[in-house]
Amino acid sequence: MSNKIIEVQNIKVNITNIDDNDYICISDFGKYKEGKSKADDIIRNWLRNRITLEFLGTWESIYNPNFNSVEFDGFRKSAGLHTFTLSVTEWCEKTNAIGIYSKRGKYGGTYAHKDIAFEFASAISPVFKLYLIKEFERLKEIENQNREWDVKRILTKNNYLIHTDAIKNYILPDNDFFKNKEWLKYAEEADILNVVLFNTTAKKWRELNPELAKNSNVRDYATINELTVLSNLESHNAELIKEGKTKEERFEILSNICKYQLDILNNEYWYAREPSKVLEYKDWRNFLKVLNKAKDACKNSGFNIDEQLVEVNRLSKRNNNAIANIQDYKLSRYICYLIVQNADPSKEVVALRQTYFAIQTRKQEITEQEYDSLSDDEKRFYQRKLTRQGNYTLQKVASSVGVKNMAEFHNAGYKGLYNGETVDDIFKRKKLRYREDILDNMNEDELVANLFRINQTKQKLLKDNVQGEKEAKDVHYEVGKKVRKAIADIGGMMPEEMPKPKKSLKELERERKKLEIKEQKKLEKIK
């Protein structure tokens, strides 16, 4: 059980893992508000709250079969009374709770399951919670990537045992490993794969990378896709050795396998013959008509057709098992979509897929020409997406110029645009619940104003070569003020005066989801 640390709003937060569950040190959260000395007081006050106890009790009831619900009912009845106090230790001892616990010593403090930790973060600050979730997700993404890499590397090493065993049994039978140097052939065989995959031998790589070579080898720096292919090559090579193929023969065969598999893994594509069968086009010539329509649509939409479609000749097995050279095309995902849209809708299989794509692509970016035809809510969805993307890009730029406290940086922009209001001020004014998103509760004009502020700040940070946190915050504030002045000059409504929409985009998303489920059920009935 080892601890990991993430940094949230300049606060170091410890994370530990128990039985494959992540527990986050909520004592560290207290530093965000009151400093380390007051962290325990904040947690105790949070525990006294009836809503908190309801949440904890529900969580334990779901995940903890040994939870003492009788003791929990006693705490729940007393919650809210002036005389009621509760510590983490008392809660755990009397209810057998597992979602939260106290730890002493190094990395000590109060730890809570991530579900509970996120709930506590809401009580600290909605902004802090958002950054916490973002950093936690980033950590898990890195862990998953590393885990996948490790699995592939282990698989490769295991296959290497098979590979070397084949060499031992079929190239070096009965050789004494210690008396002669025939074991060098192990390295030679490994280098066949190294050259095929990495275009270098192990020795050459060590010569070029002396520092790295002290603790690793060329395969330790392979991508996940390369490791996947390497694993396959080792298995293939073992079989080829058994068949008695020469090194030259195996090198040629393995080179072709490597090129083909890397092409598949690194470049997602489909052969045109495959969707032609799926869409029930028995005549290849009729399918080519659909393909040509898709090509025209692709060109008209501004895409480079050469990047979306490539003509190839490949070998294919006929019905009589004869091998023939046939015409085909490598298709991108986008071209496949256009093919479906231009196929014969009288075919049931085509109609089903067109309906499916119509539902799924509704969330994609729209063209400028389409924008005016959208409803007010659809325009809000579109502008919120752009605003979130803009914020993400702005944050990356701000980080590159030295900004560490992102909350203060974003607040500077809001202060300029909203006449001194911070994120928390806007949150309160709009009377939002602690789990709600500000952007979800803005109308189209307010989102557009913020998007303009975000984009202009990003450009100014880059153009003026801004350096340092203070200068970046000042720029964000001034840009916000200038956007506000521009709105005033044209007689527009100030952002803080813009009405809050009747429904948040979160509510509208839930309604959309219900509609999608209904449509999907209809499709399933048709099938």
Q: What is the pLDDT of residues 464-509, one digit of tens each?
A: 888 899 999 999 999 999 889 888 877 888 999 999 998 998 888 8
User: Which position has the higher pLDDT, 150 or 311?
Assistant: 311
Mean pLDDT score, 292-317: 74
Q: Partners of 271 in the beta sheet? A: 330
Structure tokens at 91: 């809660």
How far apart, in Å, do the first and last CA atoms of the chain sit?
50
Does one domain contain both 349 and 403? no
Q: Look at residues 215, 248, 266 and tell me which one is the last residue of a structural domain.
A: 266
Mean pLDDT score, 415-437: 88
Phi, psi of 282 (to 5 degrees): -75, -30
The answer to whether residue 132 scores a pLDDT higher than 80 is yes
What's the burial of 212, exposed, middle or buried (CB within 10 Å: 0-12/13-18/19+)? middle
User: Tokens 């527009």 — which residue?
Assistant: 492
Residue 35 pLDDT: 55
The answer to whether residue 127 scores a pLDDT higher than 80 is no
The answer to whether residue 338 scores a pLDDT higher than 90 is no
In a domain, 134, yes or no: no
Query: Residue 231 and residue 237: Cα distance in Å, rounded?
Result: 10
Does one domain contain both 116 and 180? no
The answer to whether residue 312 scores a pLDDT higher than 50 is yes
Residue 317, SS3?
Answer: strand
Residue 414 pLDDT: 94
Query: Residue 457 and residue 480: Cα distance in Å, rounded?
Result: 8
In a domain, 435, yes or no: yes
Residue 146 pLDDT: 56
Residue 494 pLDDT: 92
Residue 522 binned pLDDT confidence (cut-offs 50, 70, 90): low
Does one domain contain both 373 and 483? yes
The answer to whether residue 162 scores a pLDDT higher than 90 is no
Does one domain contain both 78 and 154? no
Q: Look at residues 232, 266, 300 and tell me which one is the last residue of a structural domain.
A: 266
| Residues present in the chain in total | 527
Structure tokens at 295: 């090509």
Does one domain contain both 104 and 46? yes
Q: Look at residues 266, 283, 310 and tell me which one is the last residue of a structural domain.
A: 266
Q: Distance between alpha carbon 445 and the CA centroid of its chain, in Å?
A: 30
The answer to whether residue 156 scores a pLDDT higher than 50 is yes
In a domain, 454, yes or no: yes
In a domain, 176, yes or no: yes
Residue 167 binned pLDDT confidence (cut-offs 50, 70, 90): very low
The answer to whether residue 185 scores a pLDDT higher than 80 is no
Does one domain contain both 342 and 464? no
Residues 352 and 523 sit within 8 Å (Cβ to Cβ): yes
Does one domain contain both 407 and 439? yes
Mean pLDDT score, 46-53: 86
In a domain, 239, yes or no: yes
Q: Domain of 73?
A: 4-124
In a domain, 517, yes or no: no
Which tens digit of pLDDT belongs to each residue from 88-100?
Answer: 889 988 998 999 9
Does one domain contain both 221 and 99? no
Q: At a CB cut-off of 8 Å and minimum separation 6, what does 105 contact?
A: none
User: Which position has the higher pLDDT, 57 or 187?
Assistant: 57
Residue 525 pLDDT: 61
In a domain, 135, yes or no: no
Contacts of residues 316-320 at CB distance under 8 Å and 24 or more positions apart, as own/partner, are 316/273
Cα angle vertex 376, ends 371, 379, to 5°? 40
In a domain, 521, yes or no: no
Does one domain contain both 426 and 503? yes
Residue 421 pLDDT: 92
Mean pLDDT score, 404-419: 92
User: Which position has the higher pLDDT, 301 or 245?
Assistant: 245
The answer to whether residue 147 scores a pLDDT higher than 70 is no
Specify the range with the lowest mean pLDDT, choosing from 145-154, 182-191, 482-491.
145-154
Q: What is the mean pLDDT of the chain?
A: 76
Share of the chain above pLDDT 70, in %: 74
Residue 41 pLDDT: 81
Residue 138 pLDDT: 77
The total domain count for the chain is 4
Residue 171 binned pLDDT confidence (cut-offs 50, 70, 90): very low
Residue 447 pLDDT: 92
Residue 34 pLDDT: 57
The answer to whether residue 356 scores a pLDDT higher than 90 is no
The answer to whether residue 305 scores a pLDDT higher than 70 is yes
Residue 373 binned pLDDT confidence (cut-offs 50, 70, 90): low
Residue 432 pLDDT: 87
Q: Partners of 13 in the beta sheet? A: 6
Does one domain contain both 38 and 151? no
Does one domain contain both 292 and 246? no
Structure tokens at 144: 């998953």
Residue 71 binned pLDDT confidence (cut-offs 50, 70, 90): confident
User: Which position has the higher pLDDT, 287 or 334?
Assistant: 287
Does one domain contain both 232 and 342? no
Residue 153 binned pLDDT confidence (cut-offs 50, 70, 90): low
